Amino acid sequence: MKAFLNINTEPGVCRTRESKPGYFMDYAYNTHQVCVGMDSFCEKTDKYKKSYGRWYMDNSAWYMGCFFIQNPFYKTMTLNDFKKLLRKIVLKLDFDEEGKKFFKGNCKELMGKITKFMDRLMDVLNVQSGAQGEKWNYKECPYTSHPMKKKFKSLDNFMKK
């Protein structure tokens, strides 16, 4: 199986506030979404591809879930500085030109690889931004009724059939 992380290096969400009377600046928002999805093809027989394709469509597998990166500097970091930081780290961490990073393995391995990578991403963000007291962190989207682990388990059960 092949899964991907998609980090948007051109975030449009920002806070505008007055930095001094009559002077407004766009500041980086405090959370940034990183989506996790599955690739739409499978390297098995044609019969298997067809059944996987059906599962893929029925379960919206292009979106398995997401993480939210918590930006500790959102009150002082401008949106442009945030975008520069994101572009810098995607190059360091081997994302492709679309901001995607691919992972291969079985379903159980994929969730572990993705979480381990998110931990590494936080380490790189902390180093690149010079984080001292406040640290970058992330959490899985709390507003979903189907956490990623559950969706990966569902896919794992499908693959075993």
pLDDT in tens, 139-155: 998 877 778 888 888 88
Using DSSP's 3-state secondary structure scheme, residue 157 falls into helix
What are the residues facing 69 on neighbouring strands?
32, 138
For range 89-94, the mean pLDDT: 88
- The predicted structure's pLDDT at residue 45: 44
Quick check: 2 and 38 in contact, CB under 8 A? yes
- The predicted structure's pLDDT at residue 48: 53
The whole-angstrom separation of Cα 25 and Cα 145 is 36
Residue 137 burial (10 A CB sphere; 0-12, 13-18, 19+): middle
- The predicted structure's pLDDT at residue 153: 82
For range 89-109, the mean pLDDT: 86
Q: pLDDT tens across 48-78, in order?
A: 556 777 777 887 778 888 999 999 998 889 9
Residue 54 burial (10 A CB sphere; 0-12, 13-18, 19+): exposed
Cα angle vertex 89, ends 85, 92, to 5°?
145
For range 126-149, the mean pLDDT: 85
Minimum mean pLDDT range among 62-66, 83-87, 124-128, 141-145: 141-145
Quick check: 1 and 112 in contact, CB under 8 A? no
In this structure, the number of other CB atoms found within 10 A of the CB of residue 123 comes to 12
